[in-house]
C-alpha cells in the first residue's frame, strides 16, 4: 500500500463522498425556479412571499420564470376555473422533467368556497400535485413551508 | 335645468313617451319601466334631452320565483347625469322570445354589458354584433344566472378557444411577405397578470387589431350571491378586487345598510374610511409597482411593496387576515379596535409617505420611464365616458369626478383633500394621478386619526348586528338573538337599490334586489375593471406590442373584479 508523501494534507479532511443523484438533488432543491401560475388573490400573496419582507431568495427560489421551459416548480396560486383548466394542463405539459407542483390556497386545492358552475373543484383532477398549502390565501410563512417541503421531497426521493 | 325634484321629474316625464310606468323618485334616484320595443327610444331621449349621458351599468334579473311579474326577465340599466348628479334606473321587461334593442349606438361600452347579460340569462339583444359567450367558456350550455340553473352543474372545457378574428376581406389580398400574423398573448403571460388573453393581429411589432377574451377568473360571484345569505356574501366581496378587499366590504355593506335604512355609528364610519384609504394606497402601490415591473423596472416593485406589508400588519392586528379581510358586517364593523392601533396607523402613514418619496424619486423624472409611458396608450375623455370609465383613469383624462366629492358619504365632506387630475390620459398621467392619490389618502387618514370619534363601532339592533360574545355566553336573550340572526340573517326589506362607492379603480356599484328575506334575489356587482378593459383595443391598436404591455399595467385590471 502506498502512503501519501510526507507533508501533503489528509484527503479525508476536504473530500466527502456522495451519490451522483443525491448531489444533483442537493443542487436542485436549493435552486428551484418557480413558475407562478397566479390567477387571483393568492398571486398577490405570492408577490409578498417574493417581496422584501419574506424574501423567498433565502431558499434559492426567487428566480421567477414565466416560461414553462425554464422552470421546474409550478406554483398554482389562485382559483382555476373551467375555462383555464386546459391551459393549466398545457403549461404543465410544457415543463421539463423533473418538475414539482404546489397547489397554493383553498381554491386551487378544492375550489375553495366557490361551489360554482364555472370553478374547477381542485387542480389535482388535471395535474399531479406534490404539496397542498391550506389557507385563503395562505400566509407567506405557509408558502415558505410549502417550498421547504418540496425541498424535502427532492432530497428524499434521491435517497430512496 | 329644473330646480326642485318635482319639477325635474315632470321635465323628465315630458321628454319621454310610451313608458310602461312613468318616472318616479325612489330611494336611490329615479326609476321607470319600459317595454322592450320602446326601450331604445326612451333611453335615447334620456341621454339626449335629460342629461343622463353616462351609462354606469346594464344587467339582467330573473323573476322566475316572483309570480307578480308577468314577464320573466328584466334588463336593468343605470344611467348617470353628471351635470345634475342624478341617477336613473330603467327597467325593461322581456322574456325568452322577445329581444331588447342594443344600446351600442348610444354607448360603445354597452357591448360587453349586454354580452354578459346574454351569457348569464340568454336575453337576446337585437342589433348586437357578437352575442358570444364572454365570462363562461365557449362550450358552456345553458344560462347560469337563471334561477333554474343548478349552481353545482359543473361543465368542463375540452379545448381552449382557438385564436380567431372576424373576417375582414380588405386584409386578404396582401403580399404574403407583408401579411399580418396572428399571435396569442396570454392568459399565462407575465404581462397579462395570469388571466387576460389578447389575440392580436400584428404586422411586425405593430398591433393591427385585437380580440380580447376574458372570463379566465369567472368564479360566479353573482350566483354565489344568490345561494348565500346577506352577511355570508361579505367574504365573497373580499375576492372581487383582492388588492383592496376592505373597500369592497365597505361598498357592499353600505348598500345593504342603505336598503335597510340604517347608518353605522360615527366610529364605525371613520374606521371604514381609514381602512378604505389604506386599501386605496395598497391598490395604487400594486398598480404602480407591477406596471413598472412589466416594463422592466424591478426595483420600484420592491420599494412599493414594503408599505403594503406595513398595512398588512395593521389589518392582521385588527382582524387576523392580511389580504382577504372581511372586516365589515351589515350594520357596523366586525371588531373593536385593539389598543394602540391608531398610533401604529399613524406610524404606518409616516412610513408610507417616506416610501412614496422613494418610488417618486425612482420614476417621476426618470427619462426611461418617461419615454416608455408619456403619450402611450392614451384614451381621450370622450371615449372614456363612452366606455363608462370612472376613477383614476377618468381623472387622468382631465375630468374632475370623484364620488367622494360629488356624492360624499361618511365623513368625506368633512375632511380636507384634493382630487388630482391630469390632462392627457396616457400611462404617465395615470401614474401621476395614482401617486398623488396616495398622498391625498395619507392626508385623509391623518385627519381621521386626529379626530377619531369615540363610541360603538356597530349599531345596537338585535335584528341587524350580532350581540357581544359575553352576552351570548351569559344570557339567554343574547344566545337567542345570536341564534336567530345566524340562522335567518338580516331581513332586508323587499325592494332594490343601486349603491356605489369610490373604490381604488373607480365606481364600485352594488345593485341588490331583495324579496324581503335573509336570502338575496340578486346581487349585481358593477366592477370598474369590466368597463375599463373593454376599451383596451382602442388604446393599443396601431401601437407597438411593448406599449400595449405598458398600457395594460397602467389600467390596473383586477381579474376578480373583471370576471367576478
| pLDDT 10s digits, A101-110 | 999 999 999 9
| pLDDT 10s digits, B440-480 | 999 999 999 999 998 888 888 888 888 888 888 999 998 99
pLDDT, average across residues B18-45: 84
Report CB contact under 8 Å: B216, A84. Answer: yes
B163 falls within a domain: no
Residue ending a domain, choose from B89, B114, B139? B114
Question: Does residue A146 contact residue A104 with C-beta atoms inside 8 Å?
Answer: yes
Q: Check residue A97 and give its pLDDT.
A: 86
B257 falls within a domain: yes
Instruction: Specify burial of residue A44 (Cβ count, 10 A radius: 0-12, 13-18, 19+).
Output: buried
pLDDT, average across residues B153-168: 83
* Chain A residues near residue B189 by CB distance under 8 angstroms: 66
Q: Is A65 on the interface with B (CB under 8 A)?
A: no
| pLDDT 10s digits, B218-227 | 998 999 988 9
Q: Is the confidence at residue A2, as pLDDT, over 80?
A: no
pLDDT, average across residues B381-393: 90
Q: Check residue A4 and give its pLDDT.
A: 63
pLDDT, average across residues B331-336: 88
| pLDDT 10s digits, B502-558 | 999 999 999 999 988 889 999 999 989 999 999 999 888 888 888 988 999 898 888
Domains along chain A?
A: 34-159 (3.40.50.12280)
* Chain B residues near residue A44 by CB distance under 8 angstroms: 242-243, 286, 323
Q: Is the confidence at residue B323, as pLDDT, over 50?
A: yes
Confidence of residue B1 (pLDDT cuts 50, 70, 90): very low
Q: Check residue B172 and give its pLDDT.
A: 60
Q: Is the confidence at residue B34, as pLDDT, over 60?
A: yes
* Chain B residues near residue A53 by CB distance under 8 angstroms: 306, 309
In percent, how much of chain A has pLDDT > 70? 97
| pLDDT 10s digits, B479-493 | 999 998 899 888 899
Q: Check residue B176 and give its pLDDT.
A: 66
Nearest to B560 among A37, A40, A85 (CB): A40
In percent, how much of chain B has pLDDT > 90? 31
Q: Check residue A152 and give its pLDDT.
A: 93
Query: Do B109 and B226 belong to one domain?
Result: no
B132 falls within a domain: no
ipTM over 0.90? The verdict is no
CATH number, domain with residue B466: 1.10.645.10
B322 falls within a domain: yes
The edge-to-edge listing of strands for the beta sheet with A100-104 is A34-38, A73-77, A100-104, A131-133
C-alpha cell read off for A88: 393549466
Q: Check residue B498 and give its pLDDT.
A: 92
Return the number of other C-beta atoms located less than 10 Å from residue B413's C-beta.
10
Confidence of residue B2 (pLDDT cuts 50, 70, 90): very low
| pLDDT 10s digits, B171-186 | 665 666 677 888 888 7
Report CB contact under 8 Å: B193, A48. Answer: no
Q: Check residue A18 and give its pLDDT.
A: 87
Q: Check residue B49 and give its pLDDT.
A: 85
pLDDT, average across residues B284-290: 90
Alpha carbon distance B535, B563 (integer Å)? 15
Mean predicted lDDT score pLDDT of chain B? 88
Give the up-direction half-sphere exposure of residue B454: CA atoms within 13 A in the CB hemisphere.
0
Question: Does residue B69 contact residue B62 with C-beta atoms inside 8 Å?
Answer: no
**Of B219, B218, B226, the residue nearest B61 (C-alpha):** B226
Query: Do B355 and B499 belong to one domain?
Result: yes
B259 falls within a domain: yes
Q: Is the confidence at residue B22, as pLDDT, over 80?
A: no
Q: Is A91 on the interface with B (CB under 8 A)?
A: yes
pLDDT, average across residues B333-359: 91
Report CB contact under 8 Å: B308, A48. Answer: yes
Q: How many domains does chain B have?
A: 2
Nearest to B144 among A37, A117, A139 (CB): A117
Confidence of residue B162 (pLDDT cuts 50, 70, 90): confident
Can you give B173-223 as a three-state secondary structure string? Answer: CCCCCCCCEEEEECCCCHHHCCCCEEEEEEECCEEEEEEEECCCCCCCHHH
Q: Check residue B295 and give its pLDDT.
A: 87
Confidence of residue B152 (pLDDT cuts 50, 70, 90): confident
Residue ending a domain, choose from B79, B114, B149? B114
Report CB contact under 8 Å: A84, B223. Answer: no
Query: Do B92 and B225 belong to one domain?
Result: no
Which structural domain range is residue B531 located in? Answer: 221-562
Lowest-pLDDT range, B161-165, B341-345, B385-389? Answer: B161-165
Residue ending a domain, choose from B84, B114, B144? B114
Q: Is the confidence at residue A1, as pLDDT, over 60?
A: no
B interface mutation test: which of A81, A127, A136 has the most B CBs within 10 A?
Answer: A81
Amino acid at each position: 500500500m502506498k502512503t501519501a508523501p510526507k507533508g501533503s494534507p489528509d484527503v479525508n479532511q476536504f473530500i466527502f463522498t456522495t451519490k451522483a443523484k443525491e448531489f444533483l438533488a442537493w443542487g436542485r432543491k436549493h435552486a428551484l425556479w418557480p413558475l407562478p401560475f397566479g390567477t387571483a388573490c393568492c398571486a398577490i400573496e405570492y408577490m409578498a412571499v417574493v417581496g422584501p419582507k419574506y424574501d423567498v431568495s433565502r431558499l434559492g427560489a426567487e428566480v421567477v420564470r414565466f416560461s414553462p421551459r425554464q422552470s421546474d416548480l409550478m406554483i398554482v396560486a389562485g382559483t382555476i376555473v373551467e375555462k383555464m383548466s386546459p391551459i393549466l394542463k398545457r403549461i404543465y405539459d410544457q415543463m421539463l422533467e423533473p418538475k414539482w407542483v404546489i397547489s397554493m390556497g383553498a381554491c386551487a386545492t378544492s375550489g375553495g368556497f366557490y361551489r360554482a358552475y364555472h370553478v374547477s373543484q381542485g387542480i389535482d383532477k388535471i395535474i399531479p400535485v406534490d404539496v397542498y398549502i391550506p389557507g385563503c390565501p395562505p400566509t407567506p410563512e405557509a408558502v415558505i413551508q410549502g417550498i421547504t417541503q418540496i425541498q424535502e421531497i427532492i432530497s428524499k426521493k434521491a435517497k430512496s | 335645468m329644473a330646480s326642485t325634484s318635482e319639477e325635474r321629474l315632470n321635465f323628465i316625464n315630458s321628454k319621454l313617451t310610451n313608458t310602461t310606468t312613468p318616472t318616479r323618485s325612489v330611494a336611490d334616484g329615479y326609476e321607470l319601466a319600459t317595454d322592450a320595443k320602446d326601450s331604445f327610444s326612451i333611453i335615447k331621449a334620456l341621454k339626449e334631452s335629460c342629461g343622463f349621458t353616462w351609462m354606469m351599468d346594464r344587467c339582467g334579473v330573473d323573476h322566475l320565483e316572483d309570480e307578480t311579474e308577468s314577464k320573466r326577465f328584466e334588463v336593468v340599466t343605470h344611467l348617470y347625469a353628471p351635470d345634475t348628479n342624478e341617477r336613473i334606473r330603467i327597467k325593461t321587461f322581456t322574456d325568452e322570445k322577445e329581444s331588447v334593442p342594443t344600446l351600442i349606438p348610444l354607448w360603445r361600452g354597452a357591448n360587453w354589458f349586454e354580452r354578459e347579460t346574454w351569457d348569464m340569462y340568454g336575453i337576446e339583444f337585437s342589433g348586437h354584433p357578437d352575442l358570444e359567450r364572454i365570462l363562461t367558456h365557449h362550450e358552456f350550455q345553458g344560462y347560469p344566472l337563471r334561477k333554474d340553473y343548478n349552481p353545482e352543474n359543473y361543465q368542463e372545457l375540452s379545448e381552449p378557444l382557438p385564436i380567431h378574428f372576424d373576417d375582414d376581406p380588405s386584409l386578404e389580398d396582401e403580399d404574403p411577405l407583408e401579411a399580418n400574423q396572428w399571435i396569442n398573448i396570454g392568459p399565462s403571460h407575465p404581462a397579462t397578470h395570469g388571466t387576460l388573453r389578447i389575440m392580436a393581429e400584428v404586422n411586425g411589432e405593430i398591433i393591427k387589431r385585437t380580440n380580447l377574451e376574458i372570463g379566465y377568473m369567472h368564479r360566479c360571484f353573482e350566483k354565489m350571491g344568490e345561494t348565500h345569505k346577506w352577511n355570508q356574501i361579505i367574504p365573497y366581496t373580499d375576492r372581487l378586487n383582492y388588492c383592496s378587499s376592505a373597500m369592497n366590504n365597505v361598498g357592499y355593506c353600505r348598500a345593504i345598510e342603505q336598503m335597510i335604512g340604517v347608518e353605522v355609528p360615527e366610529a364605525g364610519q371613520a374606521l371604514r374610511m381609514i381602512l378604505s384609504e389604506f386599501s386605496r394606497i395598497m391598490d395604487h402601490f400594486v398598480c404602480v409597482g407591477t406596471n413598472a415591473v412589466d416594463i422592466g423596472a424591478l426595483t420600484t416593485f420592491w420599494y412599493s411593496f414594503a408599505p403594503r406589508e406595513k398595512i398588512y400588519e395593521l389589518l392582521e392586528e385588527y382582524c387576523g387576515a392580511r389580504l382577504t379581510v372581511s372586516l365589515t358586517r351589515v350594520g357596523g364593523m366586525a371588531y373593536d379596535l385593539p389598543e394602540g392601533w391608531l398610533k401604529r396607523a399613524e406610524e404606518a402613514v409616516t412610513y408610507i409617505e417616506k416610501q412614496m418619496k422613494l418610488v417618486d424619486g425612482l420614476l417621476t423624472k426618470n427619462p426611461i420611464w418617461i419615454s416608455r409611458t408619456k403619450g402611450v396608450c392614451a384614451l381621450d375623455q370622450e371615449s372614456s365616458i363612452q366606455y363608462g370609465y370612472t376613477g383614476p383613469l377618468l381623472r387622468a383624462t382631465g375630468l374632475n369626478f370623484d364620488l367622494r366629492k360629488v356624492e360624499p358619504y361618511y365623513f368625506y365632506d368633512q375632511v380636507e383633500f384634493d382630487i388630482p387630475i391630469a390632462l392627457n390620459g396616457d400611462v404617465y398621467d395615470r401614474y401621476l394621478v395614482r401617486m398623488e392619490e396616495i398622498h391625498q389618502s395619507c392626508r385623509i387618514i391623518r385627519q381621521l386619526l386626529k379626530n377619531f370619534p369615540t363610541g360603538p363601532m356597530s349599531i345596537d339592533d338585535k335584528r341587524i348586528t350580532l350581540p357581544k360574545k359575553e352576552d351570548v355566553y351569559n344570557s339567554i336573550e343574547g344566545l337567542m338573538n345570536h341564534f336567530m340572526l345566524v340562522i335567518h340573517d338580516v331581513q332586508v326589506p323587499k325592494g332594490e337599490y343601486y349603491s356605489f362607492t369610490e373604490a381604488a379603480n373607480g365606481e364600485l356599484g352594488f345593485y341588490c334586489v331583495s324579496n324581503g328575506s335573509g336570502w338575496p334575489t340578486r346581487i349585481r356587482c358593477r366592477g370598474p375593471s369590466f368597463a375599463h378593459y373593454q376599451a383596451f383595443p382602442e388604446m393599443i391598436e396601431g401601437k407597438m406590442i411593448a406599449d400595449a404591455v405598458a398600457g395594460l399595467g397602467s389600467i390596473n385590471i383586477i381579474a376578480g373584479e373583471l370576471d367576478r
